[in-house]
């Protein structure tokens, strides 16, 4: 008689039958934030490059960085990276406020609120940016559209992931 051990039985399992360990929800939110920030600030750079708006992602460096390098391509790329890092915090803010709402509207409203915060309340930090009422129509429409799409991307991605993990997988996510 041959003695069958658990090792022999486990060897028969296919790789696809084994359950993958999932990445934590916190890590996923951070990744969504970073990707959303870098993606949409890169699109913002393209809008700046093609003169749809008067300023690019390097505007984030204006209050802190000295020198004219921040207006060059290097400044734009560093601005994209900084916005990507700041977007991690923004994604966690969305997660705390709206993660349970699996709709597009909270993301759109979140993007509009972010735009109002940046262009309305934080305007004094950015000396080279004109006030909202003095922005040209192209800059106004382009930046508002980018913020709406950015908010939609962050919002729906976080809400969708939350919904998938709680409803379909039965995972418990700490609030």
CA gap 60, 44 in Å, rounded: 12
Q: What string of H, E and C letters represents the secondary structure of the chain?
A: CCCCCHHHHHHCCCHHHCCCCCCCHHHHHHHHHHHHHHHHHHHHHHHHHCCCCCCCHHHHHCCCCCCHHHHCHHHHHHHHHHHHHHHHHHHHHHHHHHCCCCCCHHHHHHHHHHHHHHHHHCHHHCCCCCCHHHCCHHHHHHHHHHHHHHHHHHHHHHHHHHHHHHHHCCCCCCC
Rg value, the chain, Cα: 22
Is the pTM of the predicted complex or chain greater than 0.85?
Answer: no
CA gap 129, 4 in Å, rounded: 74
CA gap 20, 139 in Å, rounded: 46
Q: What is the pLDDT of residues 41-52, one digit of tens each?
A: 999 999 999 999
Answer whether 146's CB lies under 8 Å from 44's CB: yes
| pLDDT reading at 5 higher than 70 | no
CA gap 59, 128 in Å, rounded: 8
Q: What is the pLDDT of residues 21-79, one digit of tens each?
A: 568 999 999 999 999 999 999 999 999 999 999 999 999 998 887 778 888 999 999 99
Average confidence score pLDDT of the chain: 86
């Amino acid at each position: 008689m041959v003695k069958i051990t658990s090792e022999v039985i486990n060897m028969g399992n296919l790789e696809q039958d084994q359950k993958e360990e999932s990445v934590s929800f916190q890590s996923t939110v951070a990744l969504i934030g970073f990707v959303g920030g870098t993606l949409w600030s890169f699109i913002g750079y393209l809008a700046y490059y093609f003169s749809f708006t008067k300023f690019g992602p390097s505007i984030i460096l204006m209050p802190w960085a000295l020198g004219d390098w921040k207006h060059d391509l290097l400044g734009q790329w560093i601005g994209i990276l900084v916005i990507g890092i700041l977007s991690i915090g923004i994604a966690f803010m969305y997660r705390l406020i709206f993660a349970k709402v699996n709709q597009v509207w909270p993301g759109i409203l979140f993007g509009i609120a972010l735009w109002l915060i940046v262009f309305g309340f934080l305007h004094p930090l950015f000396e080279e940016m004109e006030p909202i009422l003095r922005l040209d129509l192209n800059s106004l429409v382009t930046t508002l559209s980018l913020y709406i799409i950015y908010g939609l991307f962050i919002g729906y991605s976080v809400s969708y992931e939350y919904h998938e993990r709680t409803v379909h997988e039965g995972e418990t996510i700490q609030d």
